[in-house]
Amino acid sequence: MDGLVRVFTGEGRGKTSAAMGLALLAVGAGGRVYIARFLGPWEEDEWKGLARLDGDVMFRQFGRRGVAFEEPREDDFREAREALEEIRRVIRSEAYSVVILDDANRAACYGLFSVGDLLALIEEKPQRVELVIAGCCADPRIIRRADVVTTLQELRGNS
């Protein structure tokens, strides 16, 4: 990977899938991937797929089920702060070639941490580490700072 900052945002489906595609590319190229998931647990099949890459992919779940649909509690804010500190250590360690923050845009939008916190992670990122920030409602400041921005929109749905 090339150390870029990538953002996957928009109201369409596929932001997480796009990030997971980059994870597969990184592992295929011999890299290691750290994935932090915010605002609720993964679906069972997603987790089973990631578990097959054990050793090359570190997966961390931050946030409780339902936090995206109700008012955040104090423990939600505390866990988000702790998550950011862990992510900061991971990025600085350069042990992973790709760090994915899934639903981090939405977590910032909900106020679990600030856009400034995400911008600080971007600025602290070593050149060799690729950072992926996924989730709807990406702040314009994040979009301006990213190297690559992909907006997903649904043109036709099955709902």
Domain boundary assignment for the chain: 5-151
| Residues above pLDDT 90, as percent of the chain | 58
Q: What mean pLDDT is predicted for residues 98-119?
A: 94
* Dist. CA 143–CA 90, nearest whole Å: 23
| CB neighbour list of residue 21: distance below 8 Å, 6 or more residues apart | none
- What's the CATH superfamily of 5-151? P-loop containing nucleotide triphosphate hydrolases (3.40.50.300)
pTM, entire model: 0.91
Residue 63 has pLDDT above 70, yes or no: yes
Out of 6-10, 24-28, 66-70, which region has the weakest mean confidence (pLDDT)? 66-70
Kindly indicate the confidence band of residue 130, based on its pLDDT and cuts at 50, 70 and 90. very high
In angstroms, the CA 10 to CA 137 distance is 6
CB 102 within 8 A of CB 134: yes
List pLDDT tens digits, range 84-98: 999 999 999 999 999
Return d(Cα 33, Cα 56) in angstroms, integer: 6
- pLDDT, residue 36, reads 92
Return the beta strands (E) in the chain as ranges: 5-9, 33-37, 57-61, 98-102, 130-134, 148-151
